[in-house]
Amino acid sequence: MKETKRFLNNKWSAPLTALLIAAAIPAVVQADAAQCGAVFQIETQALAAKKEVVKLVSQDKPQTLREKLETNYKARNEVLAKRYPQLEYIFKDPEAFVQTMKQRFEAQKRITPEDPRMFDFPEAATTMKDIRADLEAFRQEVAADLRSNKDTFRNRLAHTFLGRRSSKVETLSKTLTYIHKLQRDLDVMIDSNHYPYRDTVYTLYYYSRIRGIFQFKELNTYYQVAKYIDMSMHGYRRLNIDAELNLYKAKESPIIQVRSGKIAHEFRVAEVPFRESFERLDKLDFVIIPSTHALGSSAFMHVLPHKIHFLGATNTPVPADGFNRPGGLFWMHDVRHEADRFMKMTSYRKANNLTAKQEETIALLSQQWQADFLKLKNSITDPELRASVEHYHFYTHHDVGVPLVPSMFLNHHKDGMAVYYAFLFHKRNAGQEVGFKNWFENTRKTQEILTKFWQERLPLEQQLLRKEPVRLKNWEEWFPMTYKLDKSQTSVLNRAVESGSLVRLQTEMAGVDGILSKVIYSKDGQPIYVQFSGAARLLDRAAQELPGQGVSVHSQGYSSPIGAVKQITADGIVKSEFSQIRENQMVEIQYESGIVVKGQMKGLTRDESGAVNVVTFKTAEATLGEQMLYKPEWGSFDLMIGSKIQSFEFLN
């Protein structure tokens, strides 16, 4: 509290007066129609639009900035909790909810450290019971469809003379199997009244996919064409029922389907880090809420400053952003928005080196700025301009994921206008009205209004950060991408080679920083040899530079095989591990991939536990069949130990 008073008693106190007065004025808030959130038809829809007034609680003494922000925060929470009673446990205090989830995670980590996300999430009970009921209705529909298809003359004829039924019958039959499996998993949770957090997210993901499997045929002609653009942009791939069943049995890709083809650039940047952050075992980075409720813009804007991400599971195609998306594709659409938002907020935190206290204050300020925006919007008398302001605000902060802070808006809003106009054009063609005409004129006025709005609030952000906010031109500079490589992600290595990016590659024993220039793959697509151009350095498992392995030693590049070792021979004698070979011995290392490294051993580099992470040869050659990978005349050779690439990070 004393620090807050010192914060106000300085040269900035006068410019803040207007903001503090604004904070004390009742904020008029309008309930909104459902926009981009989840829609679940058997659930109660969003409440009818109505005006609500948030009033400050009277105080006997003057309030500090922090006290005013907290008072308004509580008032906004009350409004949203009433508007979305089914999600009251979140909206009554989003930050407290996140902290509760983190406490549950930490407690579970002591019990099941291999998966601390198995803590009980009792708030999901209603949602899980709802989808259980909906699955039963869906099962009956599929069963009835299956009976009618089996009884057709064509199917009887195919079964009698060709020994088979139509593919539709097989699909329906296997869909019933899928539904039964999901129902059994749900019954376990419902009967035990125990809802593991991880399993609630996974179940909603698989439910969303199977629920949408037959919905694509329901789309009209426009959407039948547009869906291919949308699927490609979001990296969604339709699978046959066998692949869906295998996906469910393996419990793979729990929140993000491994992408196929090209997707939007920012989605590609944020995809894997978002998933990996969700799967972290050391801490809970954020909370995913798989929602079956209709949510409006106010719900998304209210949690925008907090580490809460809504993902929508729907049992019917949902129109949003110019597309009509069946289940599965709609889930991916929400994932892409939320991953993009996660990326930008993480970038802002890193770039400005926010402390925990600064982060908390920014969240409170963002809530207040949203209330200020609603007051500004409701003061605009021109209905079309008001609609334009509301639409662009929501597009910028939800669809594009820009944090609700002045510097982020001011740095972004002039970029990508061609995309925004294309977005409006597409929505109009899809019959999804935006509420205003004369796009160019209204958007120009909108930008003037919102630019002034955020410029007035920029000094407070500057004062909070104690410096000018970092202007983020390239998100990736502040958001390194880390990938756990498997067969589906080796394209990441190829992209690194093509782009000439500085990267960090880590095996389970060692790592290397440098510019990746070449990768050799095995027949099954696994990377077995990597080559770096220019200066490089070798690292230990903690990503610290190894002694004698800096850029001065590897100034001209670096290369090494990676993979499982088949056999180690030293002076003709087979050894079981690297620690058994000695200086000056003639060593031959055979890899399962077929790569062979042989030469005179110079020394071993070990980590703190004594495990070998680098084998250095005085001279060596590396071959793959008749292909020469490293020649003796090139000098000493440092062999990095590692059976596979565990992580891969873009450093620029």
Q: Is residue 89 part of a domain?
A: no
Same-domain check for residues 107 and 227:
yes
Greater model confidence, 270 or 411: 411
Same-domain check for residues 469 and 487:
no
Q: How confident is the model at residue 264 (pLDDT cuts 50, 70, 90)?
A: low
Q: Is residue 96 part of a domain?
A: no
Same-domain check for residues 495 and 592:
yes
E strand map for 389-450: none
Q: What was the pLDDT predicted at 19?
A: 35
Same-domain check for residues 574 and 504:
yes
What is the rounded distance in angstroms from the CA atom of residue 539 to the CA atom of residue 382? 61
Could you tell me how many helices (H) and strands (E) the chain has, helices first? 20, 19
Q: How confident is the model at residue 518 (pLDDT cuts 50, 70, 90)?
A: very high
What is the rounded distance in angstroms from the CA atom of residue 374 to the CA atom of residue 557? 56
The region of weakest confidence among 35-39, 228-232, 308-312, 425-429 is: 35-39
Burial 150-179 (b: 16+ CB within 10 A, else e): eeeeebeeeeeeeeebeeebebbbebbebb
Same-domain check for residues 175 and 255:
yes
| Percent with pLDDT over 70 in the chain | 81
Q: According to the per-residue pLDDT averaged within each range, which of 29-38, 79-88, 98-107 is highest?
A: 98-107
Q: What was the pLDDT predicted at 32?
A: 46
Q: How confident is the model at residue 56 (pLDDT cuts 50, 70, 90)?
A: very low
Mean pLDDT, to the nearest integer, of 624-640?
Answer: 92
What is the rounded distance in angstroms from the CA atom of residue 334 to the CA atom of residue 209? 13
Q: What was the pLDDT predicted at 92?
A: 93
The region of weakest confidence among 4-13, 285-294, 602-611 is: 4-13
Q: What was the pLDDT predicted at 492?
A: 76
* End-to-end C-alpha distance for the chain, whole angstroms: 40
Q: Is residue 97 part of a domain?
A: no
In residues, how long is the chain?
652
Q: Is residue 228 part of a domain?
A: yes
Same-domain check for residues 377 and 417:
yes
Same-domain check for residues 150 and 260:
yes
Q: According to the per-residue pLDDT averaged within each range, which of 225-239, 250-264, 612-626, 638-652 is highest?
A: 612-626
Q: Is residue 599 part of a domain?
A: yes
List the domain range (segments joined by +) for residue 553: 483-650
Domain end residue (candidates: 464, 479, 494)? 479
Domain end residue (candidates: 325, 345, 379)? 325
Residue 176's closest CA among 124, 231, 232, 214? 214
Domain end residue (candidates: 437, 461, 479)? 479
pLDDT over 50 (residue 58): no
Q: Is residue 315 part of a domain?
A: yes
DSSP 127-168: HHHHHHHHHHHHHHHHHHHHHHHHTSHHHHHHHHHHS---HH
Q: How confident is the model at residue 20 (pLDDT cuts 50, 70, 90)?
A: very low
Same-domain check for residues 458 and 491:
no
pLDDT over 80 (residue 540): yes
Q: What was the pLDDT predicted at 59?
A: 41
Contacts of 36 (CB under 8 A, 6+ apart): 295, 297, 300, 320, 321, 333, 334, 337, 398, 399
Residue pair 607/540 in contact by the 8 Å Cβ criterion? yes
Residue 538's closest CA among 643, 649, 598, 613? 613
Give how many domains the chain has, as a whole number: 3
Token digits for 107?
């407690």
Q: Is residue 381 part of a domain?
A: yes
Q: Is residue 54 part of a domain?
A: no
Same-domain check for residues 288 and 435:
no
Mean pLDDT, to the nearest integer, of 284-289?
Answer: 93
pLDDT over 80 (residue 553): yes
The mean predicted confidence, pLDDT, of the chain is 81
Same-domain check for residues 503 and 427:
no
Mean pLDDT, to the nearest integer, of 379-384?
Answer: 95
Q: According to the per-residue pLDDT averaged within each range, which of 329-338, 375-384, 472-481 is highest?
A: 375-384
Same-domain check for residues 287 and 368:
no
Same-domain check for residues 146 and 266:
yes
